[in-house]
């Protein structure tokens, strides 16, 4: 059994026994611990409040030395989520120096991070997007310049996540 497999098994066990509020996550299939799904409830007090957002996490064989990739599988409109759903936050960036000198080494992935920390970072991202280094330019521009239109777009995806809107 690989160290990545053991680590993922341990994290899955911890998340099952003590899940963070508003988050569920685990392997899609218990035969493959390298492919997970997660559901995150939009945190109260944010534009995403009460939405249910699905995402996939794909772990490399080198986990935890390398970070997983996270991608929303439900519609998402957020400055730090690419239009294809891929999440772009510091904790998911490979360890080491940032070639763009934007992030410090301590903000990037390290083996002490965990699935739980990633998911909690995404919950934080809902409340406080980083519009200085956006993955979705349109979302960042609306966040800065037209908060009402931004909120309307997010409200629409929240409703869609709850199957209240087509």
* DSSP 3-state of 1: coil
Question: Cα-flanking dihedrals φ and ψ of residue 5, to 5°?
Answer: -60, -45
- Domains of the chain are 3-161 (3.10.110.10)
Q: Is residue 39 annotated as a catalytic residue, yes or no?
A: no
What does the pLDDT look like over 79-134, one tens digit per residue? Answer: 999 999 999 998 998 887 766 667 677 788 989 999 999 999 999 999 999 998 89
Q: How far apart are the first and last CA of the chain?
A: 44
CA–CA gap between residue 161 and residue 2 (Å, rounded): 36
CA pair distance 143, 150, nearest whole angstrom: 6
**Residue tagged active-site, from 8, 25, 88, 154:** 88
Specify the residue for token string 């009460």: 50
CB-based contacts of 155, cutoff 8 Å, min separation 6? 47
38-70 pLDDT per residue, tens = 999 999 999 999 999 999 999 999 999 999 999
Using an 8 Å Cβ cutoff, are 40 and 120 in contact?
no
CA 32 to chain centre: 20
């Amino acid at each position: 059994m690989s160290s990545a497999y053991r680590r993922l098994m341990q994290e899955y066990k911890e998340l099952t026994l003590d899940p963070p509020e508003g988050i569920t996550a685990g392997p899609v299939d218990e035969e493959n611990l390298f492919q997970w799904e997660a559901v995150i409830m939009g945190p109260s007090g944010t534009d995403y409040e009460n939405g249910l957002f699905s995402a996939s996490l794909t772990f490399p064989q080198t986990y935890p030395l390398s970070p997983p990739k996270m991608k929303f599988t439900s519609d998402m409109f957020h400055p730090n989520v690419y239009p294809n759903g891929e999440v772009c936050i510091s904790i998911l960036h490979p360890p080491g120096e940032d070639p763009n000198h934007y992030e410090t080494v301590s903000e990037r992935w390290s083996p002490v991070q965990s699935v739980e920390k990633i998911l909690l970072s995404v919950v934080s991202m809902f409340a406080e997007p980083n519009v200085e280094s956006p993955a979705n330019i349109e979302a960042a521009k609306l966040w800065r310049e037209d908060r009402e239109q931004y909120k309307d777009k997010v409200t629409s995806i929240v409703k869609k996540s709850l199957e209240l809107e087509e």
